Amino acid sequence: MPSLTNWNDEIQYTVPDDRYKTPTQASEVQEIIQEAFKQDQRVTVIGAMHSTTECTIGTGIIISLKKMARIISVNQEQLTVTVKGGGNFHIGAIRGTHANDTWMNRSAQFSSFVLGVKLVAPNGEIMEISESQNAECLPAIRSHFGMLGVVCEVIMRIFKSQPLEMSFQVAEIGRFLDNFGRELQALKAEYDQVFGMLFPTSGKLLFQRRKFVDSAKSKSDLPETQVENKNIISLFGDLFLPLVKAIMVLQLPAAVAAPLNKVLIDLPLKWIRNSTYTIDPCDRGVIYEEGDPNFEFYDWVFPEEKWCDIVRAFYN
C-alpha cells in the first residue's frame, strides 16, 4: 500500500492499492471519476502535500497528479503557458488555493493569473473554463479549493524574467506600526516586491525589498561585495534562523533568552541591513524537490487595514 506524507512529515497515512490512482492524462481522470460516481465513492485529489491539516486524507479514491507534470506549450508572444495539473509545484493545487507571492503593486495571488482551466467535474464530464468558455465560472475556479473537480490542465499568464535587486530594511515593530500608512506607501513607491519577517522575541521586523533592474546593468555592475552579501544572507537563513527556532521551542527563561537573541538575531540583522545584491534571472527559480520539501513558513495574507491589529495581537 502506498504511504503518503505531508510536507513537514506530521501527517502520514496509507492507501490501499486499489484506491490509489496516478493518471497520466485527462481521459484517465475522467474514467476514474465516472467509475467513482457510479459507485458513490468519494474522491480526494492530492497535490504536493503541503497542507497542514488532514484535508488530504480520503476515505474513498485518492488521485495523485504526480504523473501529470508536463508543460504542454509556451506562447512567447502572448506570454502564456499551458501545463498539466501536476507540474513541479502541482499547479492544479496552488492555482486554486490562494497561493501568493510578494507583489506590492499588482495582484500577488497566483490564481489571478489563471486564464483557462480544463477539469473533470464530479459527474465525470470534462469542462473547459476560460474568458470565452463558461466565463461565469472563471472567478470560482480561481479559488475552488478542490471542490469543483479535478484540474487537469491550466493556462497561466507568465512574465518575462528580470533581475531582482535585493536590499534590506530593519525596523522596530512598534515604530513601524505607529507609522504603518506612511511606511507602507514608501515601500510601494520604491519597490516591486517586499517580503517581511517578524521577530517577536526581539521586537524587530526585517523587510527584503525587491526591485526589478535592467538586464544589462545587472550583468555589468555586479560589485564583488555582492558575493559576500549573498553569503551573509545564506548564513542567516541556514544557521541563525534554525537556531532561533530551536531556542523558541525550548522556551528558555528571559534572562537566558535575551543575550541569545542579541547574538542570533540582533547582530545578524545589523549585517543584513547594509547588504545589497542582484539575483540573475537564471538563479531566480527554486526547483521544488519532492524528496526534500521540508521548509517552514508562515504565509499571512490580510487586508492592509487589519495588518497592524493582527501583528500587535501576535507580538503581544
What CATH number should be reported for the domain holding residue 98?
A: 3.30.465.10
Domain assignment present for residue 231? The answer is no
Question: Are residues 122 and 211 located together in one domain of the fold?
Answer: no
Question: Are residues 17 and 54 located together in one domain of the fold?
Answer: yes
Judged by average pLDDT, the poorest of 69-73, 133-137, 256-260, 312-316 is 312-316
Residue-number span of the structural domain to which 272 is assigned? 164-217+240-289+301-315
Question: Are residues 188 and 92 located together in one domain of the fold?
Answer: no
Question: Are residues 100 and 211 located together in one domain of the fold?
Answer: no
The mean pLDDT of 198-225, rounded to a whole number, is 72
Element of type H or E holding 126: strand 126-130
**Of 144, 114, 145, 146, which Cα lies nearest the Cα of 130?**
114
Question: Are residues 150 and 196 located together in one domain of the fold?
Answer: no
Average per-residue pLDDT for the chain: 77
Which of 10 and 239 is assigned the larger pLDDT? 10
The CA-atom distances, in angstroms, between 38 and each of 64, 125, 146 are 20, 13, 20
Helix, strand, or coil (residue 286)? coil
- Confidence bin at 183 (pLDDT 50/70/90): very high
**Of 49, 48, 18, 15, which Cα lies nearest the Cα of 36?**
18
Domain assignment present for residue 23? The answer is yes
Residue type, position 77, single letter: E
Supply 75's cell numbers. 506562447
Question: Are residues 16 and 62 located together in one domain of the fold?
Answer: yes
The mean pLDDT of 271-282, rounded to a whole number, is 74
The mean pLDDT of 179-189, rounded to a whole number, is 90
Helix, strand, or coil (residue 272)? helix
Q: Are 153 and 72 in contact (CB under 8 A)?
A: yes
| pLDDT tens digit sequence for 13-55 | 888 999 999 999 999 999 999 999 999 999 988 877 777 777 7
**Sign (positive/negative) of CA torsion 280, 47, 102, 154?**
positive
pTM of the model as a whole: 0.64
Domain assignment present for residue 224? The answer is no
Question: Are residues 110 and 194 located together in one domain of the fold?
Answer: no
Q: How far apart are CA 243 and CA 237, in angstroms?
A: 10
The pLDDT > 70 percentage for the chain reads: 75
The CA-atom distances, in angstroms, between 23 and each of 33, 143, 188, 310 are 11, 23, 44, 43
Supply 43's cell numbers. 474522491
Number of domains the chain is built from: 2
Question: Are residues 118 and 202 located together in one domain of the fold?
Answer: no
Ordered alpha helix ranges (H), 151-239: 173-178, 180-190, 215-220, 225-235
Q: Does position 249 have pLDDT exceeding 60, yes or no? A: yes
Among candidate residues 106, 129, 157, the one where a domain is terminated: 157
Question: Are residues 64 and 139 located together in one domain of the fold?
Answer: yes
Question: Are residues 182 and 259 located together in one domain of the fold?
Answer: yes
